[in-house]
Amino acid sequence: MDPLTIAIIVAVFTLIVLFSGIPIAFGLSFVSITLLVTFEGLQMLGVFAETFYAGLNSFVLLSIPMFILMGMAVAHSPAGKDLYTGLDRWLWRVPGGLVISNIGACSIFAALSGSSPATCAAIGTMGIPEMRKRGYSDEIATGTIAAGGTLGVLIPPSIVLIVYGMATGTSIGRLFLSGIIPGFMLASLFAVWALIHSYFIDKNASKLLRNRKPPTLKEKFEVLPRIFPFLAIIVGVLYVLYGGVATPSEASGVGAFLVFVMIAVVYKIYQPKKIWNIVKISMKESVMIMFIIAASYLFAFTLSQLYVTQSLAQSMIELSSNKWMIFLMVNVFLLVAGFFLPPVAVIVMTSAILLPVITTLGFDPYWFAIVFTINMEIGLITPPVGLNLYIIKGITPDVSLSTILKGSFPFMMMMVLSILILCIFPEIVSWLPDKLMGKPLGY
Amino acid sequence: MLLVASTFIGSAYVLSEKAHVSMEWIYDFLSKKNIIKLKIFTSFLSLIFFLILFYFAFLMVEEAFIKNYTTGTVWSPPLWIPYSSMLIGSILMILQYIAEIIKLFDEKDFK
């Protein structure tokens, strides 16, 4: 059979299986096994357990549970609240200040956590009720957190970038450095939208602002020492990573340790019961992600066995002679894939297809990683598997999904805009790593 | 290595806490009874997968044990130990899925 026909069969079959509500990790594995048996015969099954094992047997992947632990530990301390009350007290005069504070808190938290749902949950549990209480509309309150949470995967540390680095053999330290400036650029684009929204659309919010008692100077400075330890940890982890002290896996361990020390000292969280709870929740999240990674490896293996990967990459290059045309197609493809699959799965499955295409066309793989990640961020706040949407639905059960979507839509447009900006000025990505690490070899 | 072990062994617990991500979009369009029917069906699919995994993980452990494979590192521990984590994991998953299916059959709306 023609590999492209197989590709279509695979896509349709996978979607049907996943839509049935089966856990994504098991659904993907089931699809891969079925495909292997139908197209290659029973003897292919012999390698499948080994593929499954090999997908997870990697030192680099160790950083994922560690970064999750780090994020969860911060999320379960009152730290998120401190972060954004601190920002709010300094930004009180700005219209939409609370919204901007939430975005800011999301981006600082993103620098401590590698996952997007964790960021969403940490800032959202405090931020959304507070914004609604102060009279912001449900749409902007939920939309901000949904979008702000996605910064978690762009601003380092980031699980998505770790998996990308592992799947494509690029340097994780460099990927992290590449993510910093685009991450803050995206955060400021979000803030710009929050400003526009409160100036022109939601007049109610600025009216509320005038009635508010301004915080005193003492209040302003009171919160600073509470924000400081976070910045210290961020700087510490960054130093360990880029000072050449340790690999990302080791740096993640250092970060998790520092966070535990910090919450014990600052917030007095050292009771075994609370620590156990944090470890339990982190385990749940990391097992879920790791299983999806293993299943995606199996799926990618199946695709390349069926020669789908190679022929798809080939036909993509042959389809058009204009490299931006192909790039546009790649983006649309990623966007659609991001709707249905979690980011890590998309990366493992498609990196073998896309990376040769991208490098053949002369794009920088680090730059592509960032564009890739922003695409995945859009997927995180769109149904049917928008993880952030479910988190927000969990925080505010009385707000309907369509309201959340309406609120997050302008932020999605901001993400598309940022992809456009990155296409026009690729230096935004490459400037910082080039400055700190020198130009990459071979590209 | 340890990562593989914790993932596979932890997976059953994660399943019991219903923390594996899935696309639950379709549930909005179905009646309660049909949701449970669908859940039973998907649980069976996963059960089949883990039965197959169990069989092949067993073969892997057996081969590594008989032929005395070790990891290619300096420490060089025998490979059947990490491999058996997959075996234990799949046994736990099979048991957990059987429990889930029984739970689903017992549910009120199903009867």
The tens digit of pLDDT for each residue in A144-188 reads 888 888 888 888 888 888 889 888 888 888 888 888 899 989 999
From the list B3, B25, B45, the residue facing A56 with the nearest CB is: B3
The tens digit of pLDDT for each residue in A55-77 reads 888 888 888 888 888 888 888 87
Q: Which two tokens stand for residue A87?
A: 């920002």
Strand partners, B70: B78
CA B21 to chain A, closest CA, distance in angstroms equals 5
Q: For position A203, what pLDDT does the model report? A: 64
Four-residue CA torsion sign, B17, B22, B28, B32: negative
Q: Report the mean per-residue pLDDT for chain A.
A: 83
Q: Please state the separation of Cα A399 from the chain's center in Å.
A: 24
- A284–B3 CB contact, under 8 Å: no
Q: Averaged over A248-261, what is the pLDDT?
A: 85
Nearest alpha carbon to residue A143 among A417, A414, A410, A413 = A410
CA B20 to chain A, closest CA, distance in angstroms equals 5
The tens digit of pLDDT for each residue in B60-88 reads 888 888 888 887 777 777 888 888 888 88
- A291–B11 CB contact, under 8 Å: yes
Mutation for A interface: B29, B49, B56, B83, most A CBs within 10 A: B49
From the list B1, B42, B60, the residue facing A22 with the nearest CB is: B42
Tell me how far apart the alpha carbons of residues A6 and A361 are, in angstroms, rounded to a whole number. Answer: 26
pTM of the model: 0.85
- B41–A20 CB contact, under 8 Å: yes
- B26–A20 CB contact, under 8 Å: yes
Q: Which two tokens stand for residue A384?
A: 């049917």
CA B26 to chain A, closest CA, distance in angstroms equals 7
Tell me how far apart the alpha carbons of residues A57 and A62 are, in angstroms, rounded to a whole number. Answer: 9
- B19–A285 CB contact, under 8 Å: yes
CA A183 to chain B, closest CA, distance in angstroms equals 26
The tokens 């996963």 sit on which residue?
Answer: B46
CA A313 to chain B, closest CA, distance in angstroms equals 28
Q: Which residue of A has its CA nearest to B22?
A: A23
Query: What's the pLDDT band for B111 if we cut at 50, 70, 90?
Result: low
Mutation for A interface: B1, B7, B18, most A CBs within 10 A: B7
The tens digit of pLDDT for each residue in A23-32 reads 888 888 899 8
- A46–B6 CB contact, under 8 Å: no
Contact assessment for residue B23 and residue A384, using Cβ atoms and an 8 Å cutoff: yes
Contact assessment for residue A51 and residue A181, using Cβ atoms and an 8 Å cutoff: no
Over 60: is that where the pLDDT of A210 sits?
Answer: no
Tell me how far apart the alpha carbons of residues A443 and A178 are, in angstroms, rounded to a whole number. Answer: 15
Tell me how far apart the alpha carbons of residues A194 and A354 are, in angstroms, rounded to a whole number. Answer: 35
The tens digit of pLDDT for each residue in A229-250 reads 778 888 888 777 777 677 888 8
Longest dimension (CA), chain A: 74
Q: For position A202, what pLDDT does the model report? A: 67
Cβ-Cβ pairs closer than 8 A, A with B, add up to 119
CA distances from A200 to A193, A194, A205, A211, A235 (A): 10, 10, 10, 19, 38
> What are the φ/ψ torsions at residue A49 (nearest 5 degrees)?
-65, -40
CA B11 to chain A, closest CA, distance in angstroms equals 6
Over 50: is that where the pLDDT of A443 sits?
Answer: no
Q: Report the mean per-residue pLDDT for chain B.
A: 83
> Which chain A residues touch B24 with a CB distance below 8 Å?
21
Q: Which residue of B has its CA nearest to A339?
A: B23
In order, the DSSP letters of A83-123 are HHHHHHHHSTTSTTHHHHHHHHHHHHHHTT-S-HHHHHHHH
Mutation for A interface: B6, B9, B14, most A CBs within 10 A: B14
Tell me how far apart the alpha carbons of residues A60 and A37 are, in angstroms, rounded to a whole number. Answer: 31
Whole-complex ipTM: 0.88
Q: Averaged over B39-57, what is the pLDDT?
A: 89
Q: For position A205, what pLDDT does the model report? A: 59
Four-residue CA torsion sign, A148, A152, A155, A160: negative
| A19-33, A82-96, A421-435: the lowest-pLDDT one | A82-96
Over 80: is that where the pLDDT of B20 sits?
Answer: no
Q: Please give the residue that has the higher pLDDT: either A49 or A366.
A: A366
| A119-133, A286-300, A318-332, B21-35: the lowest-pLDDT one | B21-35
- Percent of chain A, pLDDT > 70? 95
Q: Which two tokens stand for residue A26?
A: 């098991």
The tens digit of pLDDT for each residue in A115-144 reads 888 888 888 888 888 888 877 888 888 888
From the list A22, A25, A294, the residue facing B45 with the nearest CB is: A22
- A58–B3 CB contact, under 8 Å: yes
Query: What's the pLDDT band for B110 if we cut at 50, 70, 90?
Result: low
